[in-house]
Structure 1
Amino acid sequence: MKEFNAYLNFSGNCRQAMEFYAKCLDADVQIMPFSQGPMEVTPETKDMVLHSRLSKGDQVIMASDCPPGTPMTVGNNVSICINCESRDEVDKFFGSLGEKGNVILPVQDMFWGAYFGMLTDQFGINWMLNFETPKAS
């Protein structure tokens, strides 16, 4: 395992929160709106945050707005994201953490160039397993 970090979910105000955190922590922030993703967007959702990454040195917090139709409630607004070293490690952790849990998104290749899956474990904790596919040089 390379690292793990928190992933926060917001209800439409992710950009404001992450820009605030970046200012407070003197950190860098990258923001990708829904309009840059593969799904169709409406005028109301195009500027919502699909993914953001706040970083300072080796420390990272990631966040997004909940997709339309997915209500954000306390309890589902934080996930633990594990950045794995291989596809096999993603599969191993996904299988073991998912025992008696619920799959949110089956492990699959994603549009941002990662092998990724999401689940809620038997204790109600949300997990994201991610392996960044090496870029061809």
Structure 2
Amino acid sequence: MNTLTPYLFFNGKCAEALDFYCAVFEGKIGDKQLYSEAPQAFEGADPNWVMHATFECDLFTLMMSDGTRAQTDKGVAFSLEMNDRAKQKMIFDRLAEEGEVVMPLEDTFWGAHFGQVADKYGFRWMLHCSDS
């Protein structure tokens, strides 16, 4: 199944936002990883910031991050989880037309085939594929 999940960026306030949303929506943190826990360095990232987290409640799921200091977007991205690499590549390539590849499609340390692209309107898309 393919799913689209909002991915929010908080520029250093992700842990605070996670606690806030847990209280407001009576939800829980599904996953949380700091930049310091990643096996590679990320330009502009504070090691104590949240690299990736999920927030889950009975209404919805959000993915969240502090991002990096190098980011210039509006603090939101679309995270599309897929199960077909050929379709992932087709969509990625179409989004990249007149856009900008942020991270090319590649296998990652977290087990997904992943890439990021900003489309021609400036919206960022994060394409995850678990199919090999």
TM-score bin (small chain): 0.7 to 0.9
Map Cα deviations across residues 18-39 of structure 1 (whole Å, 9 max, x no partner).
1211221111212111121113
Number of residues paired by the alignment?
129
Q: How does 1:55-74 map to 2 (within 5 A)?
A: 55-57=56-58, 59-67=60-68, 69-72=69-72
User: What does residue 103 of structure 2 align with?
Assistant: 105
Q: How does 1:1-137 map to 2 (within 5 A)?
A: 2-29=2-29, 30-40=31-41, 45-57=46-58, 59-67=60-68, 69-72=69-72, 75=74, 77-133=75-131
Map Cα deviations across residues 5-51 of structure 1 (whole Å, 9 max, x no partner).
1111111111111121122111121211112111348xx93321010
- Give the superposed CA RMSD: 2.1
1:3 alignment partner AA: T
Using the alignment, how far apart are the partners of 1:95 and 1:127 within structure 2?
Answer: 12
2:20 alignment partner AA: F
User: Is the CA contact 1:9–1:72 (under 8 Å) kept in the aligned structure 2?
Assistant: no
Normalization by structure 1: what TM-score? 0.83
Deviation at 1:88, TM superposition (A): 1.5
User: Is the CA contact 1:10–1:72 (under 8 Å) kept in the aligned structure 2?
Assistant: no
Using the alignment, how far apart are the partners of 1:34 and 1:113 within structure 2?
Answer: 17
Q: Secondary structure at the match of 2:21?
A: helix
Q: How high is the sequence identity, in percent, across the aligned residues?
A: 28
Q: Which runs of 5+ in 1 are unaligned?
A: none
User: Is the CA contact 2:83–2:131 (under 8 Å) kept in the aligned structure 1?
Assistant: no
Map Cα deviations across residues 31-75 of structure 1 (whole Å, 9 max, x no partner).
11112111348xx933210100011248321011122x41455x2
